[in-house]
Amino acid sequence: MKTKHTLPWEDTPAKSERIVSAITRIASVLRSGAWQFATTEGLNPTQVDILEALRSRRAGVRLSWIAQHLGVTAASASDSITSLTAKGLIEKGRDSEDGRAVALRLTRSGQDLAARISNSVSFAHEAASDLPQSTQDALFESLLVLIGKLQQSDRFPEIRACVTCKHFAVNRHPDSETPHHCMLVDAPLSVSSLRLDCPEHDQAQTTVAVQNWRELEGV
């Protein structure tokens, strides 16, 4: 009896479905790499995310900022922060912009641990940096545009990216390899040098951010 072969291309999911599937698989591998390391340190996923978010914000941030950045409730962020403070990984100080508010920062131990969490996914950094430069540029731009799409449909938490920053001037230098501009440091920016998480980010008005995303998409 003849074996009936399936025709794989007939069952192939739509490209959009395969894109999401690829991103999901990569995300879960990265997550499990970071969490494996973190669980040996007695941390849960939200605590890991908080340490990573605070790593580049040495001036400190407020609890409400952390909750919004991670897309979790203030109560959940507060529980995790209480635990991280008890472990000596986070300390509370005065907010530099409002002396009555509390700013959360990593302690020296917290900085060391956050650096080691990041190193636990260095295998992925190496894989990405092995890609040809043109592939890295195209991949970064595509992911950025996809994040923009998700943000515009309110399915992605706010990010401190150039595109949503009031200092960002989209297409200030058209027909150039560095078409955009950061007005804060007065420097032209290529697409591949746009930041996803900048400590100097200052939120632009929603209409401006939406227009920036659309220009980046080429709409």
Which residues contribute to the site for ligand SF4 (CB under 6 A)? 162, 165, 167-168, 182, 184, 195, 198, 200-201
**Coil, strand or helix: which one is 129?**
helix
CA angle 88, 122, 156 (to 5 degrees): 75
Tell me the C-alpha distance between 55 and 91, whole Å. Answer: 13
CB of 97 to ligand SF4, least distance (A): 16
Between vectors from CA 46 to CA 41 and to CA 51, what angle results, nearest 5°?
65
Q: Is 145 or 184 the residue whose CB approaches ligand SF4 more closely?
A: 184
Residue 168 beta carbon to ligand SF4: minimum distance, rounded to whole angstroms: 4
The C-alpha angle with vertex 138 and arms to 137 and 141, in degrees rounded to 5, equals: 85
Nearest CB to ligand SF4, comparing residues 47 and 164: 164
Rounded least distance, CB 173 to ligand SF4, Å: 14
Residue 180 φ then ψ, to 5°:
-100, 175
Residue 61 CB, nearest distance to ligand SF4 (Å)?
A: 15
Residue among 43 and 69 whose Cβ is closer to ligand SF4: 69
Give 105 or 172: the residue with its C-beta nearer to ligand SF4: 172
Query: What is d(CA 183, CA 181) in angstroms, rounded to the nearest whole number?
Result: 6
